[in-house]
Amino acid sequence: MIKYDDKLKIFKLDTINTSYIFGLDDEAGYLCHYYYGKKLESVDVRYLSRLYDGKYLPGVNARDKNGFSDVAPFEFSTGGIGDFRPHALEIIDKNGSIACELFYDSHRIYEGKEALTGLPATFSNKKGDVQTLEITLKDKILKLAVKLSYSVFSDTDAIVRSVKVINEGSDSVNITKIMSLSLDLDNEDFDLLSLHGSWGRERTMEYRDLGHGFTGVSSQRGVSSHQEHPFIALTSKNITQTEGSVYAFNLVYSGSFEAVAHRNQFDLVRVLLGISPYNFKWELKPGDEFIAPEAVMVHSFKGLSAMTTAFHELYRNHLIRSPYLHKKRPVLINNWEGTYFDFDTEKLVNIAKEAAKGGIEMLVMDDGWFGNRFDDNRALGDWKVNEEKLPGGLKELVRRVNDLGLKFGIWMEPEMVNPDSDLYRAHPDWAFEIPGRDPSLSRNQLVLDITRQEVFDYVWNCVESTLKSANIEYLKWDMNRALCDIYSAGLPADRQGEIMHRYVLSVYKLQEKLITTFPEFLLENCSSGGGRFDPGMLYYSPQIWTSDNTDAGARLLIQEGTALIYPLSTMGAHVSVCPNHAMGRNTPFETRGNVALAGTFGYELDTTKFTDEEREMVKEQVKTYHKYNDLVREGDYYRLASLRENGVYDAWMVKSKDDKEILVTFVLANKVCNVKGRKIKLLGLNEAYKYVDEETKVVYGADVLSNAGILISDMWGDYQSKLIHLTKV
């Protein structure tokens, strides 16, 4: 998968369908990029760098090195040496200089893949499935070593990159910017695809023209955020699911990030992805190393669908570690939208009783079970059971729920504190606050400085003692605000720029401790819904709450954007009450269930308020979940139609790996009067096969399903839906 031509000094990385080629482009040892695209047999594509006419190479034309620096397709770009495009690495040395220039020193190619200390990272599952190239570059003036790692997998077209910077000198330097990925390409009339949003409407796909200058997205919030996402892609114009070219990039990180594409005067495009340089400065002392988060690259020349498949395969096979990865998740009922803070033991037990009748398998108790927590203005940080609400504590409640045949789960928000709490009154300095300034509240809460050991220990002890206090089998870990007022009493003034990244590392450390202490536990991450839905969190939890907006109509757009890069099994999705609490919209109970099936599936309501009809529908929905979940969880996902694009209907399908089974979901969102049935063409089929429709018993050739399509009759009313189950004849 990885080859090095010693004579040509060229590295060639081959995935299933793509090649990534770069090498040494001058006697001095500059590392330059040549090609990323459809798989090639050839190795020598050095001419693509445009440097070999001798005009630009410093060894030939030293009088105009700037001309070289301004056009060279550097594999990892640095500042201060004449490259006026954005840089992957920026350093300040002891003299205040920002110059850094990297030259090839050595490399090694090895089987497997090393872990990244303190960071989430992809991994090898079996011998021979991953190969890694590590290249060491050095700045001999700064005595700085930069190790670039590239990993290639046997089962996906993804390439994973990471960067490590090591100070081999006797003086400290400061890193002020470090990107995990730098890639120089020729512009191909690209559009830039990103995922934008806000609370309740996360990860909506958006295209824009890639003009000259900077185009991109970022988060400065300390989390990957609702507003932007650590993902961008360069696509050909009018790309479809099956046609067109796309270069896609995703950061395995849960904090502030920057993802940009810069088009310069020569129509060269540089893509950068990594930690946001906003409020970032990291002191690298002699002998220290800094490890940047991992970044993922995917290239597809067959449209978005092949890109999606590559990401899904990588994350399912090489990132998610949970024992639940290949298991059905228990169908759960969460009481939040059913009761909010107004509950006690009897109310929860009654909800569980009704839930059990419908086949629901777990009760999750949400916010409001601890301290003086009767609303969202107080008591965060005081993780002791409120026995006025729950007489006998968690142990008694869990026993009664277990006696009904249900598992029990719980909600916590360990990273937060309310000013009105015993914890804050005892330790006001444990929260992020700038001395002399009133802190900015969000949801009337502050963020605990878990970068400090004593705060970290307190938070962990609260989590551990809660989970050990009863037979709890699931935790929903929430985080309901962005980071600001950044100041830590645990670091000196000249190192405050390290806090944002140290915070993310502390979150990872807490969650690593959680899943190693409770290895069979089901963890679901959440951040006001989807505010921290990223690959970094998937390393610790197999599922993330996709959005606080549970409206089936809104979820169509949210789940389309999320499934563009993340497997369906990672998306927390529930059936909730109508009118919906976020939208005020009414959608049919059946459609709410069908949309939630494209995720983990559960309920977010008060079961004691069901009508007789709804009780029967829950039983059927739970049966449907058990019938199709293996297919949805393990199968290949294909987007067939987009409500975002057509404004009328949405459709997707999942096909089993062995091609024996297909599930198509169709949702008519906005009824149009007097139209004929719609034809939906299926994707990813072996056209030699035949399939039978379980409901109609009609047999279709796969070639017909792919090229002519399946006919879906018009429906009466908005947000009507249909499942079509096809099995191989």
The per-residue pLDDT for 672 is 81
CATH number of 640-728: 2.60.40.1180
d(C-alpha 662, C-alpha 655), whole Å: 4
pTM of the predicted protein model: 0.97
The per-residue pLDDT for 62 is 63
Q: Which two tokens stand for residue 175?
A: 């890193």
d(C-alpha 582, C-alpha 551), whole Å: 7
The per-residue pLDDT for 70 is 83
The per-residue pLDDT for 65 is 75
The per-residue pLDDT for 58 is 64
Identify the CA nearest to 307 among candidates 472, 158, 132, 499.
Answer: 158
Which amino acid would we find at residue 147? K
- Name the 3-class secondary structure at 102: coil
Question: Using N-to-C axis directions, what is the helix angle for 589-596 and 552-563, rounded to 10°?
Answer: 10
The DSSP symbol for 62 reads G
Longest dimension (CA), the chain: 85
Cβ–Cβ under 8 Å, residues 336 and 366: yes
Give bridge partners of residue 692 from the DSSP assignment.
Answer: 699, 727
The per-residue pLDDT for 52 is 64
Task: Give the whole-number percent of the chain exceeding pLDDT 90.
Answer: 93
In tens, the pLDDT along 342-384 reads 999 999 999 999 999 999 999 999 999 999 999 999 999 999 9
The count of other CB atoms within 10 Å of the CB of residue 670 is 12
Give bridge partners of residue 138 from the DSSP assignment.
Answer: 103, 145
Identify the CA nearest to 526 among candidates 513, 511, 515.
Answer: 511
Q: Which two tokens stand for residue 228?
A: 């932007």
Alpha helices in 577-611 (DSSP H): 589-596
Give bridge partners of residue 667 from the DSSP assignment.
Answer: 650, 721
d(C-alpha 102, C-alpha 164), whole Å: 13
Mean pLDDT value of segment 302-309: 98
Q: Could you tell me the residue ranges of all domains in the chain?
A: 2-318, 332-634, 640-728
| First-to-final CA distance of the chain | 37
Contacts of 637 (CB under 8 A, 6+ apart): 308, 309, 312, 563, 567, 568, 652, 653, 654
Domain 332-634 has CATH 3.40.50.150: no
Alpha helices in 254-365 (DSSP H): 303-318, 336-339, 345-357
The per-residue pLDDT for 55 is 59
d(C-alpha 33, C-alpha 31), whole Å: 7
The count of other CB atoms within 10 Å of the CB of residue 645 is 10
Q: How sure is the predictor about 715, in pLDDT bands with cuts at 50, 70 and 90? A: confident
Q: How sure is the predictor about 49, in pLDDT bands with cuts at 50, 70 and 90? A: confident
Indicate whether 51 pLDDT > 90.
no
Burial class (CB in 10 A: 0-12, 13-18, 19+), 198: exposed
Q: Catalogue the E-assigned strands of 220-292.
A: 231-235, 246-252, 257-263, 268-275, 282-284, 289-291
> From residue 3, how far is each of 8, 14, 21, 462 by CA, in Å?
12, 8, 10, 50
Indicate whether 465 pLDDT > 80.
yes
Give bridge partners of residue 576 from the DSSP assignment.
Answer: 604
The per-residue pLDDT for 69 is 83
Phi, psi of 217 (to 5 degrees): -140, 160
Domains 332-634 and 640-728 share a fold: no
Give bridge partners of residue 263 from the DSSP assignment.
Answer: 213, 269
- Name the 3-class secondary structure at 727: strand
In tens, the pLDDT along 85-128 reads 999 999 999 999 999 999 999 999 999 999 999 999 999 999 99
d(C-alpha 687, C-alpha 705), whole Å: 9
CA dihedral 621, 625, 627, 630 (to 10 degrees): 170
Active-site positions read 478, 548
Q: How sure is the predictor about 647, in pLDDT bands with cuts at 50, 70 and 90? A: very high
d(C-alpha 717, C-alpha 669), whole Å: 9
Cβ–Cβ under 8 Å, residues 26 and 35: no
Which amino acid would we find at residue 209? D
For strands 130-139 and 103-111, give the pairing: antiparallel
The per-residue pLDDT for 716 is 87
Mean pLDDT value of segment 579-598: 96
Sign of CA dihedral 608, 609, 614, 617: negative
Alpha helices in 434-551 (DSSP H): 453-468, 499-517, 535-538
The per-residue pLDDT for 677 is 80
The per-residue pLDDT for 717 is 86
The per-residue pLDDT for 189 is 94
d(C-alpha 291, C-alpha 281), whole Å: 14
CATH architecture of 2-318: Distorted Sandwich (2.70)
The per-residue pLDDT for 312 is 98
Cβ–Cβ under 8 Å, residues 474 and 409: yes
What kind and span of H or E run contains 618?
Answer: helix 612-634
Q: How sure is the predictor about 54, in pLDDT bands with cuts at 50, 70 and 90? A: low
The per-residue pLDDT for 257 is 98
d(C-alpha 554, C-alpha 110), whole Å: 46
The per-residue pLDDT for 195 is 98
- Name the 3-class secondary structure at 124: coil
- Chain mean pLDDT for the chain: 96
Q: Is the peptide bond before 579 cis (omega within 30 degrees of 0)?
A: yes
For the chain, the helix, strand and coil percentages under 3-state DSSP, each to the nearest 5: 25, 30, 45
d(C-alpha 83, C-alpha 89), whole Å: 12
Q: Which two tokens stand for residue 219?
A: 């988060």
Question: Using N-to-C axis directions, what is the helix angle for 345-357 and 393-403, rounded to 10°?
Answer: 20
Indicate whether 259 pLDDT > 60.
yes
Q: Which two tokens stand for residue 662?
A: 């297909």
DSSP characters for 622-666? HHHHHHHHHHHHHSEEEEEE-HHHHSSEEEEEEE-TTSSEEEEEE
d(C-alpha 553, C-alpha 297), whole Å: 31
What kind and span of H or E run contains 164?
Answer: strand 158-167
d(C-alpha 548, C-alpha 530), whole Å: 7
For strands 416-417 and 173-186, give the pairing: unpaired
d(C-alpha 316, C-alpha 156), whole Å: 11
In tens, the pLDDT along 375-431 reads 999 999 999 999 999 999 999 999 999 999 999 999 999 999 999 999 999 999 999
Cβ–Cβ under 8 Å, residues 569 and 659: no
Burial class (CB in 10 A: 0-12, 13-18, 19+), 318: buried
Mean pLDDT value of segment 713-728: 93
> From residue 175, how far is each of 79, 93, 136, 144, 665 by CA, in Å?
11, 9, 18, 11, 49
- Name the 3-class secondary structure at 495: helix
The per-residue pLDDT for 713 is 87
Numbers of helices and strands, H then E, in the chain: 14, 39
Cβ–Cβ under 8 Å, residues 486 and 431: no
Q: How many residues are recorded in the chain?
A: 729
Cβ–Cβ under 8 Å, residues 123 and 106: no
d(C-alpha 65, C-alpha 78), whole Å: 15
d(C-alpha 602, C-alpha 287), whole Å: 50
Sign of CA dihedral 207, 299, 666, 611: negative
